[in-house]
Chains A and B, each alone.
Chain A
Amino acid sequence: MKSKDIVLNCLSRALKTDADSIPLNARLETQLNIDSTEIIGVLVDLEKALSIKLDDTCFSQLSDVSSLIALVDNRLSQAQEA
């Protein structure tokens, strides 16, 4: 499964909605109404699903769904290099 699908699945679990209905350009805070506590839950869910470690403070860099996918891809690359 691609990282994009895993991110969308984690978001769909948090939002209680279908993964297919989440647009990649949707703004996390203003369009999906995800608050800072909810995003921590999503990050922990992603850590479990992908066996990676995400920095709790990285949510401040996140704007939309694509930026979350990019963050996960970046961490996966770093993990492979290490």
Chain B
Amino acid sequence: MLNNVVITGIGFVLPAGTGNGEQLQACLARPQAPETSVSEDILRPLIAERLWDKIDDFCRYALAAATHAMQHAGVVPQEEDMTRFGCFVGNTFGGWKFTERELQKLYTDGARAVSPYQATSWFPAAVQGQLSLAFGIKGFSKTYMLDRASALLSIICAAEKIADGTLDMALAGGAESTNTLFLREVLSGMKGRTIVAGDDGNEAALAVSEGSVFLILESEEHARKQQRRIYGRLCGSGMANYPSLPDTCCEDMTTLIKVMEKAALPYTPGMIYPDLSGNRRADHAERAAIEFLWPEAKVSHHKAVTGHTFGAEGALEVALACTALSTFPPLPVLINSRASGGMCVSLLVQKEPS
């Protein structure tokens, strides 16, 4: 059970802006096109100049988002046992903007011209390394690559390590940079897909976005001892793999029902954040599974606004669930993330009454 694990800090970097959990909803409420990229201008003040050239955009996003989350929670690393502080990161693509530039140098100027930081800037675990260095994190840490379900898996695994007593607290979330020539080409297959964008069944184009969201997770006991404000709690999780073709995700209603039930029971979700892959059959199966289990639950269509942020996606959903304006008492939110190839992950989050 994860319900002694609470969320005490939220930080984000999105095309709409950067900040902490207090600013997320207002930031996303501004009129914007979802398919945009993060502006360098909002990151420059947050990243040391010497570090800037050594890392890719996805690492910059993560460092800025994690810094906001740490400050939001009021975590001072010097006052924590950092051997019991972990770091869990979701990422899908790694650092392609850096790599594209260096590959160009390789072909035009030779191997000697390639940055010595190529390897350390590209690999998806770079964020975990940079966060560990930045905050002195020495506890159990891990990076997960699971397409759009990467961040949700990182949050669940961090919560499990807190719940089993391995860690007191963790930075958990994800980061993704998609604003590169290579990735735009790779993801061009998603162009033309549509997702349901409202209760009336209206559709919107599926948008590819980017950014980073990090949460501070800790045991409720640890949070109370430090007198931290609690924004939400993790109530349950479920995951299963239903092998599917590489470019499709789970279309099996039975699997989706089992995963969602495992995450939600014994609670009844009042709101569902669906995955909305843009694949018609998979989205139909998800909608049918939700209607079968909880026909009264409201279904959010915010992905028409936020787009798909891939490695950061699940963390953004959890942050949205914890900061959403809601009636009292807040309703549990069930978040679905699915990965290409068949992995299904669900997490139930309960916003803490403010």
A interface residues (Cβ-Cβ under 8 A, vs B): 14-16, 37-38, 40-41, 44, 47
> Once the chains bind, are A16 and B116 in contact (CB under 8 Å)?
no
List, in ascending order, chain A residues with CB within 8 A of B120's CB. 37
Count of A-B residue pairs with CB < 8 Å: 18
CB of B200 closer than 8 Å to a CB of A: no
List, in ascending order, chain B residues with CB within 8 A of A38's CB. 54, 116
| Contact digits for B219-242, partner A, Cβ 8 Å, 1 yes 0 no | 000000000000000000000000
B side interface size, CB within 8 A: 9
CB of B30 closer than 8 Å to a CB of A: no
List, in ascending order, chain A residues with CB within 8 A of B112's CB. 44, 47
A31 to B113, CA, bound (A): 27
CB of B267 closer than 8 Å to a CB of A: no
A41 to B112, CA, bound (A): 10
List, in ascending order, chain A residues with CB within 8 A of B115's CB. 41
List, in ascending order, chain A residues with CB within 8 A of B116's CB. 37-38, 40-41, 44
Contact of A44 among B49, B54, B113 (CB under 8 A): B113
| Contact digits for B91-120, partner A, Cβ 8 Å, 1 yes 0 no | 000000000000000000000110111001
List 8 A-B pairs, Cβ < 8 Å.
A37-B54, A37-B116, A37-B117, A37-B120, A40-B116, A44-B112, A44-B116, A47-B112
Contact of A15 among B50, B54, B117 (CB under 8 A): B50
List, in ascending order, chain B residues with CB within 8 A of A40's CB. 116
Name the residue on A nearest B114 (C-beta): A44
Name the residue on B nearest A36 (C-beta): B116
List, in ascending order, chain B residues with CB within 8 A of A44's CB. 112-113, 116
Known: A37-B120, A44-B116. 11 other contacts (CB 8 A): A14-B50, A15-B50, A16-B50, A37-B54, A37-B116, A38-B54, A38-B116, A40-B116, A41-B117, A44-B112, A44-B113
